[in-house]
Structure 1
C-alpha cells in the first residue's frame, strides 16, 4: 500500500459530503417552508414531522461518519508517510468501513424520504 491508495478516497468522500450537504439544505428548506405555512394542510404537515426528524438525525450521522472517514483517510496517509504502512493500512480499512456505514445510512435516509413523498402523493390522490 502506498500514499496513493488512501488518496483515491479523498475525491469520493468530498463528493459524497457535497451530496449530503445538499440533502441537508433541501430538508432544512422543507422544514422552514412547513413552519411558515402552518395554516395550510396542518394534518399533512403533522404526518411528515416524524419522518423529517428521523431524516435530520440520519443526515447528521452520515455527515459525521463521512467526516470521520475523511480524517481516518488523512491519518492513514500520514502513517504511511511515516513508514508505518501496516498501521496505515488498518486505519485505511477503518476509513473504508466508516464510509460504508455512512453510505448505508444514506440509503436508509433515501428510503424514508420516499415514504414522505408517498404521504404527499396519497394526500393528493385523496383530494381528487
Structure 2
C-alpha cells in the first residue's frame, strides 16, 4: 500500500479534536484542584480530601502525557506530509507509523485517566453513602415511592 499525502492529513482533524478533549479535561481538573485546595486549607486532616489530591495529581500527570503524545503525533503527521511531498516514501511510511503509535499511546493514557477519574468519583460516592447508610439501606430509598399516611 502506498501512502498518499492525504492520508496523514486525515489525522489532523482527529488529533485536533482529541487535543481539545484533553485540554478540556485539564481545565476541569485545574478547577477541581483549586476547589480542593480551598477545602484542604479549611480541613487539612480530612482523609477524603487528601485521597482526592493524590488522585488528581496522577490524573494531571496522565493528561500532560496525553497532550504530549497527541502533539507529537500531530508533529509526526506534518513531518510525514513533508517527506511525502519531497518523495521520501519509505521514510514517510515509518514516520506515519510513529505518528499512529504516538496517537495510540495518547488514547491508552486517556483510557487509564478515565479509570482513575472513576475512582475519584467513587471516593465521593463512598463519603455520601456513609451518610445515606445511616438513614436507610444504601441508595435504594431514592427509588422507593413514598406512601401517603392516613389516606382515605
Partner of 2:143: none
Q: Normalization by structure 1: what TM-score?
A: 0.96
Of the two structures, which has the highest relative contact order with CA contacts closer than 8 Å and spacing of 6 or more?
1
- Which of 38, 43, 48 is the aligned partner of 1:44? 48
TM-score of the superposed pair, with normalisation by structure 2: 0.81
CA distance in 2, matches of 1:23, 1:16: 11
Measure, in 1, the Cα distance between the counterparts of 2:19 and 2:102.
Answer: 13
Q: Which residue of 1 aligns with 2:67?
A: 63
- Whole-Å Cα distance in 1 between the matches of residues 16 and 107 of structure 2? 13
- How far did residue 37 of structure 1 move? 2.4
Please show how residues 14-93 of structure 1 align to structure 2 within 5 Å.
14-38=16-40, 39=42, 42-93=46-97
Matched residue of 2:87: which SS? Answer: coil
1:47 and 1:20 map into 2 onto residues whose CA distance is: 23
Q: Structure 1: where are the runs of 5+ without partners? A: none
What's the counterpart of residue 112 of structure 1? 116
Number of the residue aligned with 2:7: 5
In 2, the alpha carbon distance for the partners of 1:103 and 1:33 equals 28
When Rg is computed on C-alpha atoms for both structures, the one with the higher figure is 2
Show structure 2 runs of 5+ residues with no match.
133-152
Equivalent residue number for residue 99 of structure 1: 103
